[in-house]
Amino acid sequence: MFDNLCKFLAESFPEDYATWLLGSPIKLTQLSPTELSLEPIRADSLILEQSEDLVLHLEFQSKPDENMGFRMLDYRVRVYRRFPKKTMHQFVIYLKPTNSSLVYQDRFQVGETTHHYRVIRLWEESPEIFLKIPGLLPLAVLTQAEDPTLRLREVASILDTITDQRIKANLTAATSVLGGLVLKPELIKTILRGEIMKESAVYQEILQEGMAKGEQLGLKKGEQLGLKKGEQLGLKKGEQLGLKKGKVEIAQQLLNRGMALEEVVSLTGLSEQELTQELSN
């Protein structure tokens, strides 16, 4: 979820991310991995933006990945094959503090080949630029802070000054989700206004993800029940159980992020009594 959310932010505010990482608000357009001729590695977390003379490659990570160095080299070669004259800037951005040495690796070596890329550990970054640029606000709560709660309150205060309701909703929802990496959901709920977020694309994405998860779980559960009972009823019942479980899980996420109970009921199709009972189990 966190990787996809950061991908949404970078693709929605490309000039803001160019300002942060490249030092100027360069106009960028999305570069599809399919343009690189080969199947992408983990395309769900891959962000490629391009201008006339450069390519910006971002990888947001909520946890260390031992294959990161190879991925960065692999995409550098792919981009060179497609755009040999373009400069390429590659960044791996780690979101959550960890003691793993993997988050300090900024090169990949195989034989005589050594490839370098940049690594950013958000918890070591000064919050100054993140608090000044709208598209970076959701990341500010993950930067250096003696008290993340005070930082979240600071971000919330800045969010309240944004006049575009769609942008405010998306940034507030993104802040709520990313804040969950360092703060308890109950605390986030008291600081960020849940009603602002209900129409955001971020919440719609969370809802769809939860529904898809429920359907997959239902199919798997149904297959297990069907095999065990030897009845078609098992598959149908399993699908229903799985879909309901998926709805309950996504309802819990929405409630944790500050959405009102009646709004969650409307979105998930579960009754208030049904939802309350499921969440109390």
2-124: CATH architecture: 3-Layer(aba) Sandwich (3.40)
Q: Token digits for 203? A: 């919440």
- Amino acid present at 240: Q
Distance of CA 220 to the CA centre of its chain: 26
- Angle (CA) 139-6-169 rounded to 5° is 75
| Residue limits of CATH 3.40.1350 in the chain | 2-124
Question: The sheet that has 87-94: what strands, in order across it?
Answer: 29-30, 46-50, 54-61, 87-94, 118-121
Q: What is the pLDDT of residue 32?
A: 83
pTM: 0.74
In the numeric block, the tokens 């602002």 are attached to: 196
Among candidate residues 150, 73, 65, 158, the one with its CA nearest the CA of residue 109: 73
- Angle (CA) 195-198-203 rounded to 5° is 140
Q: What is the pLDDT of residue 217?
A: 52
Each residue's pLDDT, cut to its tens digit, for the chain (281 residues) gives 677 788 889 999 999 999 999 999 999 998 887 777 656 555 556 789 999 999 999 999 988 999 999 999 999 999 999 999 999 999 999 999 999 999 999 999 999 999 999 999 999 999 999 999 999 999 999 999 999 999 999 999 999 999 998 899 899 989 988 998 999 888 888 888 765 555 566 656 655 555 555 555 555 554 554 444 444 445 455 555 656 676 677 777 767 666 667 667 766 677 777 777 777 76
